[in-house]
Amino acid sequence: MPNTLETHPEILPQKQTSTARRGPKILFVTPEISYVSNSMCNDAQRVRAKAGGLADVAALLVDGLKKRHRDLHLALPNYRQLFRTENGGTLTESKRVHLAEDCHFYRRHGVYQTSRHDLLRSALAFQREVIHRIIPKVKPDIIHCNDWMTGLIPAAAKRLGIPTLFTIHNIHTERPTLAELENNGVFGADFWEELYFENYPENYDESYWTNPIDLLASGIRAADHVNVVSPTFLDEIRYGHHENIPGRISHLLWEKHAVGAASGIVNSPDPSFNPQKDSLLTERYKSKTHHEAKAVNKLALQHTLGLDENPDVPMLFWPSRLDPIQKGPQLLAEILPQLIQDYHDIGLQIAIIADGPWEQGLHDIVNAHGLHRRVAVHGFSEPLSRQGFGGADYVLMPSSFEPCGLPQMIGARYGTLPIVHHTGGLKDTVQHLNIEENTGNGFAFEHFDAGGLRWAIDEALRFHLSDESIRIKQVTRIMEEAARNFSPVEVVKQYEDLYTGLVPSFMGEARA
Ligand code: GLC
């Protein structure tokens, strides 16, 4: 049984009556969240604003903390179009859910738009609301910020004496000037000395027009503690392993880590990713029944995607954005026709259920080689993606870098073994399978190139062609270990420990 809040209610602390016993008042600040629970606000089912993994992890933490009766407040932009009620009404602010108001959020149909101007404008409007309205209203004991869109908040909070935790989910940043801050209503003069400027700031006026402020670096610099979503990604940044991560970020994290103010916490998939309970699967299953149930799910998926309908063929599943900077779809594109040809006799199939810049490129390859019955390229959809985890045999994640990554853990839970580049969070969560020693949970390659990916896929298919009883035994073990090891409860507890460590007056009260 997975160790989730749902299946182990006994780990929840008893409801406390005195607010002092509920630990510090936490303000959780995020620009996206996949869902919030009913206990946070009326109309909770309307609050869905997801662009990527940050939304899933934010939802998991907010839900887990609330279930453990923590004194929790949430700040997020009021995306009116996304939050609209059935009769066209708008969501209203509640006691615990604070909506940042700005016309910029009102008319859009997605969480982010892609131009730099739009991203920055949103981030500044959001932070203006949090800094100047929501923090004074909530009066939190601690603020938990997430990614560059919240990077000014630790500096502002420092001036108010409120400790902050800054979580790095990804390395994107923007670099506005003080003038841009003020033009968007953020009064930087209050806390500019805590920010990270590209050039040493002599004084406010000198820096005002031309000295860019790095928002990610500012969050790291001013926060009392910084956590990265896996220990390996933290080390990779500190040691400068990734060319696309600027030296200033490595340097800042190196300094924070040296004084015990930086750590790594691996995310967990949401408890709803449980093959025993997932209502979006054609057939739900336990570790012991995965073999038969996955065949049923595979047939249903093949039918939907227009692939040859045969439950005995191996199927690879691509779950994440087709983004060549991070996720490595170009590696798959490079080997695709040859791979399908080499495994023609066993009928290898690939289900790509994802959006992103490489979508058209993959369609072109499928069309040029007539691979339609073997390779499906379908835009992202949550139900289809869940069916991918439930029906495919292997999950592909050849990321060039990966702060944490969730699909490899979801895959292991569903008995869909991950094939990954050994980097960042993928290194912390996937070990190469060793049948003799009964260890490992997937297939990992070390060199980020098409040859590396091909090697790992060959390894997976060698396993696939091994004795069926061996395969079933290994997949069963992997599913059971994943349910135990990738535990939402443990992740929530690690964050609680950080919060109480930052607010010493609550020490000793965090763990129930
Ligand atoms: C980002 C990262 C991903 C991580 C997620 C949640 O999407 O790319 O690796 O799992 O944030 O922290």
**236-264 average pLDDT score:** 96
Is the CB of 130 within 6 Å of ligand 1?
no
Q: How far is ligand 1, taken at its centre, from the CA of residue 111, in Å? A: 16
Q: How far is ligand 1, taken at its centre, from the CA of residue 397, in Å? A: 13
Closest-lying ligand 1 atom to the alpha carbon of residue 229: 12
How far is C-alpha 186 from the chain's CA centre? 28
Q: What is the pLDDT of residues 33-48, one digit of tens each?
A: 999 988 898 888 888 8
* Residue of 33, 54, 171, 327 with the most ligand 1 atoms within 8 Å of its CB, for mutation: 54
Res. 202: pLDDT tops 80: yes
Res. 209: pLDDT tops 70: yes
Beta-bridged to residue 146, according to DSSP, are 167
Considering the chain, what percentage of its residues have pLDDT values greater than 90?
84
Res. 192: pLDDT tops 70: yes
Res. 80: pLDDT tops 50: yes
Is the CB of 491 within 6 Å of ligand 1?
no
Q: Whose CA is nearest to atom 10 of ligand 1?
A: 405
Q: Are 399 and 421 in contact (CB under 8 A)?
A: yes
| pLDDT reported for residue 9 | 41
**Residue 7 CB contacts under 8 Å (≥ 6 apart), including other chains:** 1
**Residue 255 CB contacts under 8 Å (≥ 6 apart), including other chains:** none
**Nearest one of 182, 264, 177 to 215, comparing CA atoms:** 177
Q: How far is ligand 1, taken at its centre, from the CA of residue 338, in Å? A: 31
Is the CB of 420 within 6 Å of ligand 1?
no
Closest-lying ligand 1 atom to the alpha carbon of residue 425: 9
Is the CB of 405 within 6 Å of ligand 1?
yes
**53-70 average pLDDT score:** 95
Is the CB of 53 within 6 Å of ligand 1?
yes
Res. 12: pLDDT tops 70: no
* Residue of 170, 230, 234 with the most ligand 1 atoms within 8 Å of its CB, for mutation: 170
What is the CA angle 443-444-446, rounded to 5?
A: 155
Closest-lying ligand 1 atom to the alpha carbon of residue 403: 9
Is the CB of 351 within 6 Å of ligand 1?
no
Closest-lying ligand 1 atom to the alpha carbon of residue 424: 9
Closest-lying ligand 1 atom to the alpha carbon of residue 402: 9
| pLDDT reported for residue 113 | 64
| pLDDT reported for residue 268 | 97
Q: Cα–Cα distance between 465 and 132 in angstroms, integer?
A: 61
Is the CB of 33 within 6 Å of ligand 1?
no
Res. 334: pLDDT tops 50: yes
Is the CB of 58 within 6 Å of ligand 1?
no
* Residue of 267, 322, 327 with the most ligand 1 atoms within 8 Å of its CB, for mutation: 267
| pLDDT reported for residue 38 | 85
| pLDDT reported for residue 453 | 98
Res. 3: pLDDT tops 60: no
Is the CB of 427 within 6 Å of ligand 1?
no
**99-114 average pLDDT score:** 82
Q: How far is ligand 1, taken at its centre, from the CA of residue 302, in Å? A: 29
**240-258 average pLDDT score:** 96
- Mean pLDDT check: name the lowest of 88-97, 103-112, 130-139, 418-427: 103-112
Q: How far is ligand 1, taken at its centre, from the CA of residue 443, in Å? A: 20
* Residue of 321, 327, 404 with the most ligand 1 atoms within 8 Å of its CB, for mutation: 404
- Could you tell me the pLDDT band of residue 299, with boundaries at 50, 70 and 90? very high
Beta-bridged to residue 121, according to DSSP, are none
Distances (CA, A) of 456 to 202, 398, 411, 418: 53, 10, 16, 10
Q: Cα–Cα distance between 250 and 462 in angstroms, integer?
A: 39
Q: How far is ligand 1, taken at its centre, from the CA of residue 416, in Å? A: 20
Q: What is the pLDDT of residues 474-499, one digit of tens each?
A: 999 999 999 999 999 999 999 999 99
- Could you tell me the pLDDT band of residue 7, with boundaries at 50, 70 and 90? very low
Closest-lying ligand 1 atom to the alpha carbon of residue 406: 10
Q: Cα–Cα distance between 358 and 22 in angstroms, integer?
A: 47
For the chain, the average pLDDT equals 93
Is the CB of 57 within 6 Å of ligand 1?
yes
What is the CA angle 388-393-398, rounded to 5?
A: 80
**446-474 average pLDDT score:** 98
Residue 272 main-chain phi, psi, to 5 deg:
-70, -15
How far is C-alpha 218 from the chain's CA centre? 22
Is the CB of 404 within 6 Å of ligand 1?
yes
Q: How far is ligand 1, taken at its centre, from the CA of residue 33, in Å? A: 13
Is the CB of 169 within 6 Å of ligand 1?
yes
Q: How far is ligand 1, taken at its centre, from the CA of residue 465, in Å? A: 33
Which tokens in the block code for residue 49?
A: 């604003």
Is the CB of 186 within 6 Å of ligand 1?
no
Q: How far is ligand 1, taken at its centre, from the CA of residue 267, in Å? A: 9
Is the CB of 82 within 6 Å of ligand 1?
no
* Residue of 169, 267, 400 with the most ligand 1 atoms within 8 Å of its CB, for mutation: 169
Q: Cα–Cα distance between 264 and 144 in angstroms, integer?
A: 15
